A and B are shown apart, each in its own frame.
Chain A
Amino acid sequence: MELNIFVQHFINALSLGSLYGLVAVGYTMVYGILRLINFAHGDIFMLGAYFVYFATIVYKLNWGVGVVIAIILTTICGLLVDRIAYKPLREAPRISALISAIGVSFFIENFAVVVFTGMPRPVVQPPILMKPIEFSNGVRLIPLGILVPVVAFLLVGALLWLLYCTKPGLAMRAISFDIETTRMMGVSVNKIIALAFGLGSALAAVAGIMWALRYPRVEPFMGMTPGIKAFIAAVFGGIGSVPGAMIGGLILGFVEIMSVAFFPTLSGYKDAFAFLLLILILLFRPTGLLGEKLEDKI
């Protein structure tokens, strides 16, 4: 394979993988705290994409403003999902919240069909992100391909800083081990849970926005497949671990892009690789790459 093509595949894999990673981080944070698989997370990602579409293309706001508005609105939606669908079930058996999550996911998807219609809508990419940069050795890169992983890594870095160097982060890590003891220390647990949902939703919004720019269109079910794959990435990396989710996302991105790049005949099976990885990790290392010890988890 020529260097030029390989570099393009590499950047492509890096940016797809970091998008999976960004979404996976949201799954893993909520799971780590509540032992809940937030099935609506992929749909939150879809909302982020729609909000930026409406802000920039329908209401003609500039991209910077549109992105900020989309992140804020998506974060509010994520907080509402927690408030309406999960908070009343905190004391209920875990399976109830899980069923509620599936319900919320169906609701958001179908609500989006009603409100936005089921028609995919094209996203007009800002030209500055699409103008190829040519290097002397013939490698051509699109700025968007670089922007995506850079943004993703910065955000996950900021999240890790928050988790490991601030008080709310300490509380969040503590809650994931023992909610009652954390409460005894004076932590308002519901506020910290809301913070986790808010941060996860904001990251999903950013991922949804970048996804909409990459595959320039939005549609109500666009969150399903990336959502499932990001969930697999979170399990692969070790659910509950933020660095694990990012690593899992990157591995998934690389496996998907590189397998098709080296074996083009397999391109029809692209989506199967994620599930293959899931089966392998569950067989050989069920706790995931960086996972904690499994006890009674769903």
Chain B
Amino acid sequence: MDDRTMLKIEKLNVNYGAIQAVRDVSISINRGEIVTLIGANGAGKSSIIRAIMGLVKSHSEEMTFISPRDGKPVSIQGKPAEAHVKLGISLSPEGRRILPQLTVEENLTLGAYIRDDAKGISDDMEYVYSLFPRLKERRKQKGSTLSGGEQQMLAVGRALMSRPDLLMLDEPSLGLAPILVDEVFGIIREINAQGRTILLVEQNAFDVLEVGAVGLSGTGAELLNDPKVRAAYLGG
């Protein structure tokens, strides 16, 4: 394990009853990277990210998170989602999952639930508003009144509010107009440039290539033979 490793997963398996959604997937993420899981709909990308977050039952040989805060490796296998947030992992889930009856500001405040530093929270809220100025205009509006793009921005912003070291984004481009996709990916790059490690899940490989942070490149045949791509796309 290299000393920059932040997340190391060996042979992750997720089953839903008799259906195996993820089989023997191994992932390693280094500090400061943007790692992207690409794959078709139903390939198990979301299951992987949800398993990392502790939202679905999974088993693995190893699932270790090394917090850059103290450098101590912690096994996150089987821990509940709320424990992950405290360790420094956060998730902007598939489908945005904005709380519809809470205002933009309340959604962001909830994102900072584990924190008690009022000053830091309001600074971070300003930071999120600086990334997504439209959210600031709408901060007193209920989540349900936002457009799809605004909800996506809010989901990303909310995931930032816990000051995660590892930010996981599940299909942030889903359902967005192409111009917004560019904007969101631009902001993801910016967040990464400020030192946050990102695990991104996307269906559309073209969008991901635009981010310019794909760990693997090659022809279709080469990618197909690559074990990592096989793991992500074809389930092992």
Contact = CB atoms under 8 A, between A and B. Distances in A.
B55 A173 contact: no
Contacts of B205: none
Contacts of A171: 110, 113
A292 B106 CA distance: 19
Most buried by B among A173, A183, A185, A187: A185
Given A170-B106, A180-B55, A181-B93, A187 B99 contact: no
B5 to A, nearest CB: 24
Given A170-B110, A171-B110, A171-B113, A184 B99 contact: no
Interface residues of B, number: 23
Interface string B74-104: 0000001110011000110100010111100
Nearest to B107: A174
Contacts of A189: 82
Nearest to A164: B106
A185 B100 contact: no
A182 interface: yes
Interface of A: 167, 170-171, 173-174, 177-178, 180-189, 292
Given A173-B102, A178-B99, A183 B110 contact: no
Contacts of B99: 173-174, 177-178, 181-182
A184 B112 CA distance: 11
B55 A183 contact: yes
Contacts of B162: 185-186
A185 B80 CA distance: 11
Contacts of B85: 184-186
Contact of A167 (B80, B82, B113, B158): B113
B102 A170 contact: yes
Given A167-B113, A174-B99, A184 B93 contact: yes
A141 B102 CA distance: 43
A50 B81 CA distance: 41
B111 interface: yes
B113 A173 contact: no
